[in-house]
Homo-oligomer: A and B are copies of this chain.
Amino acid sequence: MPGLKRKVRHVAQIIDGKQVAAEVKRDVTERVQRLRERGIVPGLALVLVGDDPSSASYVRSKRRLATDLGLNAMVHELPVAIQELDLVQFIGRLNEDDSVDAVLVQLPLPSHLHADRVLAAISPEKDVDGLHPANLGRASQGKPPVWPCTAAGIVRLLDFANVPIAGQTAVVVGRSRLVGWPTAQLLLSRGATVVQCHRQTVNLSSYTRQADVLVVAAGVPHLIGREHVRPATVVIDVGMNRVDGRLLGDVDFEQVAPLVSAITPVPGGVGPMTVAMLVANAVSLCEQRRGKRG
């Protein structure tokens, strides 16, 4: 029709977390098979304190996937009113139990428990989330026993999508112990120049617009819009915000996707990777502790 121009619409690559997670699961299944041939069944202990429904649901999905992939996964449900010393002693028994290769304490803990002290009670060699202070220290040197699950999942997504990291500008928004901080350290260890942004950052878009890789783990729905990106950017959205019954990312996907090189959706991006990497980490700890060969 005259007067109507046809626009060639840019289409960003959608990085499919389910597809990459499936790849991780195949890989884990093979490694578990090799361990089983040596008579070893990797053991994952999941510690759930109290009865928060979403924590319980996370723990169930972790156990289900671990079991599906051939691990021996046990959920230990402890009463909400447990004393810290009793919890620490319980973890101590898991540390001593040779059939347990990996220990996860589901966060958040009830407020009377001191998360730092509880996490420090996990043996560093069984610390599947990588949150023991000694493992944080090793992460700061680029060599932890395992990288925290979400950070590991993010980099696996980037590798899958053939996104280069070394020498690139990686901007990480959020510095949580669980996600933002370890992701920054992992990207640094892979050779990126890393910009660590957080809630005190002034003029956020002036940093994010420089990103080759932009990881957003701020926990703020739709924090990142069109003004925060440029065409070369690869966007990894870690946000999982429930708003009015919908699951929203930290990135406004509809605004941002047409403007960038690649992006992860929510749901279906980072989410599926985190549980898969948790099970992969448990198998890695098993291999490390029991030796690659019998």
Give residues in A with beta carbon < 8 Å to B.
116, 120, 132-141, 166-168, 175, 177, 181, 184-185, 188, 191-198, 200-202, 207
Identify which of B116, B133, B188, B198 contacts A133 (C-beta below 8 A).
Answer: B133
Identify which of B140, B168, B184 contacts A136 (C-beta below 8 A).
Answer: B140
Identify which of B134, B185, B193, B202 contacts A207 (C-beta below 8 A).
Answer: B193
- Contact in complex: B193, A200 (CB < 8 Å): yes
- Contact in complex: A193, B188 (CB < 8 Å): no
- Contact in complex: A140, B141 (CB < 8 Å): no
Q: How many copies make up the complex?
A: 2
Once the chains are docked, how many angstroms separate the CA of A157 from the CA of B8? 55
Residues of B close to A141: CB separation below 8 A: 116, 133, 136, 177
Identify which of B136, B167, B197 contacts A193 (C-beta below 8 A).
Answer: B197
Identify which of B135, B192, B207 contacts A137 (C-beta below 8 A).
Answer: B135
Listed by A's residue number, 19 A-B pairs whose Cβ atoms lie within 8 Å are A120-B134, A133-B133, A133-B137, A136-B136, A137-B137, A137-B140, A140-B140, A141-B177, A166-B200, A167-B200, A167-B202, A184-B196, A191-B200, A193-B195, A193-B197, A193-B202, A193-B207, A194-B195, A194-B196
CB distance from A272 to the nearest CB of B (A): 27
* Chain B CB within 10 A, most for which of A137, A139, A193, A200: A137
